Structure 1
Amino acid sequence: MRRRHEKRNFHIYYSDGKAYSEKQEIKQRIHRLEKYLDSCVGKECVPFGPEIRKYFHLNYKKDGKTLKLAEENTSAVEKELSLAGYFAIVSSDNMTAREAIELYKSRDVSEKLFRSDKSYLGNKSMRVHSDEALSSKVFIQFIALILRSRIYIALKEKSEKMLKKPNYLTVPAALKELKKIVMIRQLDGVYRLDHAVTATQKIILDAFGLNEGNVRYQAKEIENILQKK
């Protein structure tokens, strides 16, 4: 049960991209309302909703029912536009604004993954035949999402430290690049790395605190295990 006086932390953010899209949406909405009101001029219209009354000054004829003129409430519209791009995150945990936004983004990615990528969950059905199997499958998927979230944050932090934003520091691109690190069986029967770690792969590995030496060490360990079989 949540305590009544639990502390809340408010983090306020601003995004240029979000501001632009929201301003466009507001302007389009005002334009649609204006066209609708133009079609109502000289007619007896049903009572207008709060949105129209908020953004327009409505003038009626003497009967009080026939719309005579609709004028844009510029102060209300400008106030709405001035708020575009701002958003807040409320947290009960004590964290910095950066930590809060990164956590929000990682959770947002996971939620979108559940909603949009049905194939990740096995299309529309879970394709299991028992409650135990269902529980196990959902558990594994949640573990996968947690790992994906950690990978996303690590790559994001690495990208922010670089002067240029490379396109390979996204989760799908990074995993695709790291999959190229493979071992093959050589002519002498020993498994070794197929090729040296590339510059791109080194940057990706660095995001996780790893380097080429870690890769070669793991490759050597795998080689020793395979030789014993």
Structure 2
Amino acid sequence: MASIVFQKDKRSGITYAYESVSYWDKEKKQSRAKRTLVGRVDEKTGEISPTDGRGRKKRAGETAAKPGPVPATRTARLFYGATWLFDAIGEQLGITEDLKRCFPKTFRQILSIAYYLILEDKNPLYRFEKWSTLHKHPCGESITSQRSSELFASITEEGKNEFFRLQGRRRLENEFWAYDITSISSCSECLRQVLYGNNKENDRLPQLNLALVFGESSGLPFYYGKMAGNIPDVKTVKLLLSELDILGYSKVKLVMDRGFYSEDNLNALFREHVKFLIAGKMSLSFVRQNLEPIYGQFRSYDRFNDTYGLYCHTVQAEWNYRQYRPYKGDTVSEPRRIYVHYYYNIDRAAEEEKAFDRRLIALRNELESGKRVPEHEAGYSRYFDIRTAPKRGIRVTVREEAVAKEKELLGFFALLTNETMDAVTALELYRNKDLVEKAFGNLKERLNMRRTLVSSEQSLEGKLFVEFIALIYLSYIKKRMQDTGLFRDYTLQGLLDKLDVIECFEHPGQRLLVGEVLEKQKQIYVALGVPPPGSL
């Protein structure tokens, strides 16, 4: 019995139609099927176009095409080694497949610009045309400045969110996600969210806030969000939870620094059943009161971790969870289990104590000389008793009790979590959060995003998305280099330059020819987890 079966080639994205004939295998005593290629399926019309597959006889006077990539339409010699690497990474991580699904008409242009941003360190986008004439890339043709602006404007919010959903499904479900925010300065008066806020570049310009979410195990970003520049970090957690919920992410686990700590945020995390690991300030009453019972025995030898040079201890405590219920007009209050991991660094404590004493001396000198600084008034009243006598003038006395209480906590820091784990595991997870800091550095320095350099909201949204795509590739390469020890022999730019010299040769009607790949170049490809070009 014959039937038509459709099968999609994952590498090329082409759907093929096969004639499947069922028959009975007497030896194996089971039903079998024999397939014969009929042709390729047009995605728009669904029509089947005959192809010259291996199962067809060659027509008279017809030359069979060689297997391999689609034959070229021009004669050219192009650089191919680095873009081949990106092609392979895109297939492996599902970036190419997901982009094609979300942006079927423009995914090749998006990939080409992302490749350019990675390879041409800090170069502006108007130089893409020159780069395009020298490199083989997905788009295969030049993209002018005007065309790139049109491309950015065509990237829709629906397409972006679908891409986030698809990429999120490819990440490990049980891994913690590092979350952080940076500021991107702008001089544009056309962008509504460019406002003055806590500028982390200290350049006194208005800004946008950009949030990133990274998978700590995969080392890859899978979500970003743009926010108004005047929103403080602590106010963004609820917005993040809402957007992750819209994207359909479940079993969320977040790692955040103490800039996101607030009672309101922890209550929101508990309410949404989100697992979290967050740094807490030692000055918080909740953190201090749970340290007091173990403070005297904290520096015990059995609590010392030689790997990190820290004294560590975990306390199981109760968080006073509160939730306002507007439909009933009341507030629910109940205890929730939480773990507080305490750490003490004896060397850091000594340095902090010296710095604290220097600060006290400076404050006392300001008081005694009468040269008070308005910004230091809180310190004057906290650590000193100040009296003015007619004959002796200003007399300054240190409040020993306040100073001693402050010094008790020097060298300590704390992490809070609602996930069961030991103190060392919590510390390792928290330290992995620097993935986001490094990613911000990549965006601002290597991918040239220290300034927005766009004049419309639509262009900004699209450019940020393409920069984000480039960041995924960069993050993958850097993690592989770190895991395999490639950083001992290469910088990131040095490694890409070493591969970028490999050429390919295109000739109409012929299979793509790849130039010589040296042994060291092959070793780099293998270390990065992809096959060398020409090896397939």
Sort the TM-score into its range (normalised by shorter chain).
0.5 to 0.7
1:178 equivalent in structure 2: 495
Matched residues in 1 for 2:479 and 2:349: separation?
A: 24
Aligned residues: 191
| Alpha carbons of structure 1 residues 136 and 154: separation in structure 2 relative to 1, 3 Å | same
Matched residues in 2 for 1:93 and 1:86: separation?
A: 21
Unmatched runs of 5 consecutive residues or more in structure 2: 1-237, 239-267, 272-320, 322-334, 505-512
State whether residues 345 and 412 of structure 2, in contact with CA within 8 Å, keep that contact through their aligned partners in structure 1.
yes
- TM-score, with normalisation over the residues of structure 2? 0.28
Matched residues in 1 for 2:434 and 2:419: separation?
A: 16
User: What are the within-5 Å matches in structure 2 for residues 1-229 of structure 1?
Assistant: 2=268, 3=271, 4=321, 8-15=338-345, 19=349, 22-40=352-370, 49-61=377-389, 68-92=394-418, 96-111=425-440, 117=444, 120-127=447-454, 131=458, 133-145=459-471, 168=487, 174-179=491-496, 181-182=498-499, 184=502, 191-196=515-520, 211=527, 218-219=531-532, 222-223=533-534
Unmatched runs of 5 consecutive residues or more in structure 1: 160-165
SS at match of 1:88: strand
Matched residues in 2 for 1:118 and 1:157: separation?
A: 23
Matched residues in 1 for 2:403 and 2:389: separation?
A: 25
| Alpha carbons of structure 1 residues 7 and 26: separation in structure 2 relative to 1, 3 Å | same
SS at match of 1:122: coil
Superposed CA RMSD: 4.7
Matched residues in 2 for 1:111 and 1:184: separation?
A: 30
SS at match of 2:520: coil
State whether residues 192 and 223 of structure 1, in contact with CA within 8 Å, keep that contact through their aligned partners in structure 2.
no
Matched residues in 1 for 2:475 and 2:346: separation?
A: 25
| Alpha carbons of structure 1 residues 119 and 106: separation in structure 2 relative to 1, 3 Å | closer
| Cα distance per residue 1:74-120 (max 9 Å; x no partner) | 45334434433332333455563134323432234445666xx3674
1:162 equivalent in structure 2: none
Matched residues in 1 for 2:473 and 2:345: separation?
A: 27
Give the number of the structure whose residues are more often strand, by fraction.
Answer: 2
SS at match of 2:451: coil
Matched residues in 2 for 1:21 and 1:67: separation?
A: 34
| Cα distance per residue 1:195-219 (max 9 Å; x no partner) | 4269xx87xx9xxxx649x56xx12
Residue type matched to 1:76 in 2? A
Matched residues in 2 for 1:57 and 1:34: separation?
A: 10
SS at match of 1:196: helix
SS at match of 1:87: strand
| Structure possessing the higher relative contact order (Cα contacts under 8 Å, 6 or more residues apart) | 2
SS at match of 2:433: helix
Residue type matched to 1:54 in 2? R
| Cα distance per residue 1:1-29 (max 9 Å; x no partner) | 72146654433344567546644542332
Matched residues in 2 for 1:60 and 1:21: separation?
A: 34
Identical pairs, percent: 21
Matched residues in 2 for 1:181 and 1:190: separation?
A: 15
State whether residues 61 and 68 of structure 1, in contact with CA within 8 Å, keep that contact through their aligned partners in structure 2.
yes
| Alpha carbons of structure 1 residues 195 and 11: separation in structure 2 relative to 1, 3 Å | same
Matched residues in 2 for 1:149 and 1:85: separation?
A: 33
- TM-score, with normalisation over the residues of structure 1? 0.55
